[in-house]
Amino acid sequence: MTLTELADKVDQLSPEAKVLQRVLEITADPNFRVEDLVSVVQLDGGLTGHVLRFCNSALFSLPRTIESLSEATMYLGSRQVANLATTFCTSRSFFSGSFDKSPFSRETLWTRSVASAFAGDLLANQSSYSVTGTAYTAGLLHDLGLSILCREVGSYADVVRQADDDLDSLTGCEQQILGFDHCQLGSEIAKRWRLGDRLVQGILNHHQETAPPQDPQLCSIVRVADVVSWQLFPDPRFQPIKVNVGDLHRLKLDEDHFEQTTEFVGRQMEVAGELLSV
């Protein structure tokens, strides 16, 4: 299947993916109106229920039970509610269905995506990156192309096998065998969904040593967040990947920050626990 054919297939949106697209479209604007988000979320019972369950979880330890979306935005802020909605919609749209032939389990793919989102959010705050919501979304969606390949392309396991134990060679193997890589596929979806240039470039360049001229900071956030997720949830088939010091420099962080971020995200993932299960 070509990149366009795969993207077309994903583009024939399920009702769930349509909600995700709408949520992402609204929240791509850093100054989005919370009413716009709430009006989309509340039309969807499953989504509303999940957002409220999350708000009332140990992750936030709020002093009282939240019963409505407007209360949720009041206590947690509109960005946090947007992140929760995006997370649930992404799991429902892209991490459902059969991953029988996938070289990575659905749970592993999803767990790493959420860990990258948490790490992206934290790194954005630590490095004073102003568009924090985009960092969360970029962390969550950076490997969207990978999940699609795992779910839709039966022979993708052969591509991963070709990469042997070197994860850095994976995109090269994808290019060689499929004619495109998971970064291009993910960014094509982001482009079609009008998620903004920042996100499109962040997804496209997340395995690139050299950051793109437009928003290199976001690109480094995603790359470091990705390493955090692999360190927390390693795969014995691959050698561990190391954080790139150039990325840390760009974010004005050092290796201690990286260690602390990894530890903190590990704790967040434990607390988020079953709420994240797909």
Dist. CA 141–CA 83, nearest whole Å: 12
Q: Which of the ranges 18-26, 79-87, 117-125, 142-150 carries the binding residues for Fe ion, by CB under 5 A?
A: 142-150
Minimum distance from residue 142 beta carbon to Fe ion (Å): 6
Please work out, in degrees rounded to the nearest 5, the angle formed at the alpha carbon of residue 229 by the alpha carbons of 10 and 34. Answer: 60
Q: How far is the CB of 241 from Fe ion (least distance, A)?
A: 9
Closest CB to Fe ion among 44 and 143? 143
Largest Cα separation within the chain, whole Å, is 55
Q: How far apart are CA 35 and CA 19, in angstroms?
A: 15
Which range in 189-197, 224-232, 248-256, 261-269 contacts Fe ion by CB under 5 A?
A: 224-232
Give CA–CA dist 122/136, Å, rounded: 9
Residue 226 binds Fe ion, judged by CB under 5 A? yes
Tell me the C-alpha to C-alpha distance, in Å, between residue 263 and each of 58, 77, 91, 272.
Answer: 18, 25, 24, 14
Nearer to Fe ion, 25 or 152 (CB): 152
In the complex, the smallest distance separating the C-beta of residue 226 from Fe ion, rounded to whole angstroms, is: 4
Piece in contact with Fe ion (CB under 5 A), picked from 21-29, 143-151, 172-180, 266-274 = 143-151
174 near Fe ion, judged by CB under 5 A: no
Nearest distance, CB of residue 37 and Fe ion, angstroms:
27
| Residue with Cβ nearer Fe ion (77 or 179) | 179
Give the shortest CB-80-to-Fe ion separation in angstroms.
Answer: 23
Q: Exposure of 59 by Cβ count < 10 A (0-12 exposed, 13-18 middle, 19+ buried)? A: middle
Q: Which stretch binds Fe ion (CB under 5 A): 71-79, 97-105, 139-147, 208-216?
A: 139-147
**Binding-site member from 143, 181, 188, 247 for Fe ion (CB under 5 A):** 143
Burial class (CB in 10 A: 0-12, 13-18, 19+), 177: middle
Of the CA atoms within 13 Å of residue 250, those in its CB half-sphere come to: 22
Question: Which stretches of the chain bind Fe ion, using CB under 5 A?
Answer: 143, 226
